[in-house]
Structure 1
Amino acid sequence: MDINSEKSIINQICDLENLEELDIDIYLISKAKTLDKKFISQPTSLDRKLRDWIKQNIQLELKKLKKEDEDGQKKFHVESYSHEIIKRDYIAKLDCKTDKQLLDKKTKLISSLNSKSPGIDNNANKVKFQVIKANIKNNSVYLIYYRGIKEHSLRKKHSGRIPSLRNGDQLVIHDKDILEFGGKIELIIINDELLVVSPRTLEYTFDYTDHISEKRDENLNRITQMGFFDECSNVGKFTEKSSQYILSRSLASIKKDTLEVLEEKFEERCEDLKEIKKHVPKDKNSKSEYLDKYKAIWPLYDYLDLDNYKVRFNEEQSVTPLLHFFSDKIVESFLTKKFRSN
Structure 2
Amino acid sequence: MTGHAAFAIPGDLDTVTGGYLYEKRLLEGLREVGVDTTYVPLGDSFPDPSEEEVDATLAALQELDPSHPLILDGFVFGAMPTAALARLRAPIVGVVHHPLAHEEGLSPERREYLFTTERDNLQLAAAVLVPSPHTARILVAEYGADPASITVARPGTDPARGVSRQSAPPLILSVGIQHPRKGHDLLMRALARITDLDWHAEIVGTPWDQGFSASLPRLRDDLGLAGRVRLAGGIGDDELDGLWAQASVFALATRYEGYGLVFDEALAWGLPIVSCDTGAVPETVPREAGVLVPPGDPAAFAAALRDLLTDHERRERMTRAARAAGAALPSWLDTARVAQRVLEAVTGRSPTPRSAFIDFEVPKPQH
Instruction: Tell me which interval the TM-score lies in, with the shorter structure as reference length.
Output: under 0.3
Max Rg structure: 1
More strand by share: 1
Normalised by the size of structure 1, how large is the TM-score?
0.27
Normalised by the size of structure 2, how large is the TM-score?
0.25
